[in-house]
Amino acid sequence: MKNAITWSVFIGVLSGIWMYAMHKMGVTPVKETVAPLEYFSFLIPAVGLLLGIRSYRDSDCKGKMGFLEALVQSFKILIGGGVITVFAAILYFSYVTTFNNAGDFSGRIFGALLVGVILAFAVSLLYHNKANKVD
């Protein structure tokens, strides 16, 4: 669980910093429009999951990890990171920007959820190395 918390904080804090950095660069969320710079935000959970699952496999699983173990750990990391990111987004929309449309905000969070699920499956497929033989 320590591994999941560590990498959740990594993803959540970097995602929060990325929101504020985009604001400072002049990129603000506009209804039904996504700035090209916003597409790079998927790299934060991708790198966090890659490093987190590799760390989990090497340290906690002693180099052997099944697909389901990797998938469960990926979801733990993503849920924790998502909670921290949503908290940072609420602070951002409350105090930094005047963009206050909850529908657009929830749409962006739902998009991030879909990207996270796809990344979790991809990283789990990439790092599992223990074959489960069915007889």
* Residue 65 Rama label (left phi>0; alpha psi -120 to 50; beta): beta
In a domain, 18, yes or no: yes
In a domain, 33, yes or no: yes
In a domain, 135, yes or no: no
**Bridge partners of 5?**
none
In a domain, 134, yes or no: no
In a domain, 43, yes or no: yes
Quick check: 26 pLDDT over 80?
A: no
In a domain, 133, yes or no: no
- Measuring CA to CA, how many Å separate 59 from each of 9, 26, 65, 82? 19, 41, 11, 24
Residue % of the chain over a pLDDT of 90: 32
pLDDT, tens digit (0-9, with 9 covering 90-100), for 30-53:
666 777 777 788 899 999 999 999
Tokens 């340290």 belong to 59
Prediction pTM value: 0.84
Give the residue from 120, 89, 123 showing the smallest Cα distance to 107. 89
- Measuring CA to CA, how many Å separate 84 from each of 14, 16, 44, 124? 10, 8, 13, 22
Q: Count how many domains the chain has.
A: 1
- Measuring CA to CA, how many Å separate 103 from each of 21, 30, 76, 108, 111? 23, 12, 26, 9, 12
- The whole-number average pLDDT for the span 108-129 is 87
- Give the Cβ contact number of residue 123 at 10 Å: 25
DSSP annotation of 94: I
pLDDT, tens digit (0-9, with 9 covering 90-100), for 56-99:
998 888 888 888 888 999 999 999 998 998 888 888 877 777 66
The domain in which residue 74 lies consists of 2-127
In a domain, 55, yes or no: yes
Quick check: 118 pLDDT over 90?
A: yes
Give residue 135's pLDDT band: very low, low, confident or very high (50, 70, 90). very low
Mean residue pLDDT across the chain: 84
